Amino acid sequence: MSVEAWTTTLVIISFILYLYIGWRSRVKDSKGFFVAGQGVPALANGAATAADWMSAASFISMAGLISFLGYDGSIYLMGWTGGYVLLALLLAPYLRKFGKYTVPDFVGDRYYSNVARVVAVIAAIFVSMTYVAGQMRGVGIVFSRFLQVDISTGVIIGMVIVGFFSVLGGMKGITWTQVAQYFVLIIAYLIPAIAISLLLTKNPIPQLSFAFSDIVPKLNQVQLDLGFQEYTKPFANKSMLDVLFITIALMVGTAGLPHVIVRFYTVPDVRAARYSAGWALLFIALLYTTAPALATFARYNLISSLHNHTIEEIHQLDWAKKWENTKLLTFEDKDGNGRIELKPDKTTSEIVIDPDIIVLSTPEVAKLAPWVIALVAVGGLAAALSTASGLLLVISSAFAHDIYYRMINPGASESLRVMVGRVMVGFALAIAGYFGVNPPGFVAQVVAFAFGLAAASFFPIIILGVFDKRTNREGAIAGMIVGLCFTIFYIIGVKFYGMQPWFFGVSAEGIGTLGMVLNFIVTWSVSRVTPPPPLEVQEMVEVLRMPGDEPPAIEELDEAHLD
């Protein structure tokens, strides 16, 4: 069977599995729709969290960025994994003990303010819509290459699938679908990595072959021969300050991502939240320790396969022709010498490779079996759809729970709340589909923006909300607005309006760190020059930090102190 036939078969099988799980997990009550009834076992929640967090950026794009950036690409490894540890140890147990459904729920009750709740809702929507754009682009890339359909059609197919199990099952359907998707994506990532490691180094363990074989020195020499910097040379593509800022933005952005935080509301108690965090870290590590090796293998194979060959020789490679059809891989003999050459200068290089195709194309470049190539495509879809579903629910709950139920119609029935949630999933899905067809950047870049926005908006007010009882609503509102507006202004200015990165050359991907610092400063300062929170709120914060599962009493705050 051809690669396309294998891909079609495996995609259909995996989609049938996701649809079946979604149908079996359908819910009627709001607790099941928004937090899976808070009955998900720790092990299952760990797998679901890993799938939710390891998006198309992790599966499709991260190894591609490392392959292009070399040492500097380690910002994604350090930032995303370090951020997850920060979230698991510093925030998740306290947020689970708080006992609410969403991050805006925490913000609204902790800061006794509906204005703070609305600002948090706006921030959650900004973060989630930016993030989901990357996922839908990942879906479009996989479909356009492996099923030979245009990106628009691929995105629509993905929308239908993710919409089905999100609308029917809410968080319960999403959770159990994500458990299946985790095992699909990790198998799809590890099998080709092991096979290529064996082919290139005779060692089947990618992590060991990356560290102890001669593949990295050989790649360094190839890079030097072509006029590039050594693959392992630090700060060759980014300044030291930019690397630091991007790493911190990714780290604290991870700890502030609403679709990851909400996963810790789905377990029965605080103890289960801690255990699920540990399981998720183990599941995540399987992919993240493999990515640097796969990136190295991919770059070495691509250079060997494409550099200094004629167009005719390249077009004899079936995978090269098909990727060229997607416009994500292009060749042009600019100097007319009859050979295609990869050069350090982008203006003279005759090979242009989109980083998003590295992982998807590597099994083909290595001439692995068609079913392995197809498996990678299915894994990429699983990664994109699992995260997209979690993000859609965050957007849905922001409107249906945090705005409609908590502020507009507190007396809404269970069925009405669920119906509003399902309608909002549909709206969010339509917007996500638009971004999939008209993406604002490549996958990991778009996702990095989402992390910057999360870092600048949520992280400071969650940290201060748990560990500083003096922080009040005025400080939280001002801090979120300043951090979010500054970061959005800088990102949009640099990426879409030609503004130079004026803050010491820090890129748009890293500016969330400065946005976070501004948020901390403004929140802390404003809180100190305005009245302290009510005593009930301060006592609630004290109880929140005490050992045990009993949530702090907060119901009396709703009427007495909300602005």
Give the tens place of pLDDT for each residue, 9-56.
Answer: 988 898 888 888 878 877 777 777 777 777 889 899 999 888 887 877
- Collapsed DSSP state (helix, strand, coil) of residue 352: strand
As a whole number of angstroms, the distance between CA 484 and CA 397 comes to 20
Torsion angle in degrees (nearest 10) through CA of 26, 128, 60, 510? -160
Please give the pLDDT value at position 558: 47
Please give the pLDDT value at position 559: 47
Q: For the stretch 332-350, what's the b/e string if a residue is b when 16 or more beta carbons lie within 10 angstroms of its beta carbon? A: eeeeeeeebbbbeeeeebb
* Average of per-residue pLDDT across 272-296: 89
Q: What is the set of domains in the chain, with CATH numbers?
A: 3-298+369-451 (1.20.1730.10), 299-356 (no CATH)
* Maximum average pLDDT range among 303-307, 333-337, 438-442: 303-307
Q: pLDDT tens across 70-116, in order?
A: 888 888 888 888 888 888 778 878 877 887 667 888 888 889 888 88
Tokens, residue 455: 């870092």
Residue type, 475: G
pTM, whole model, 2 decimals? 0.82
DSSP 353: E
Q: pLDDT tens across 192-218, in order?
A: 999 999 999 999 999 999 989 999 999
In this structure, are residues 101 and 401 in contact, taking their beta carbons and an 8 Å threshold? Answer: yes
Tokens, residue 409: 């119609």
In this structure, are residues 298 and 214 in contact, taking their beta carbons and an 8 Å threshold? Answer: no
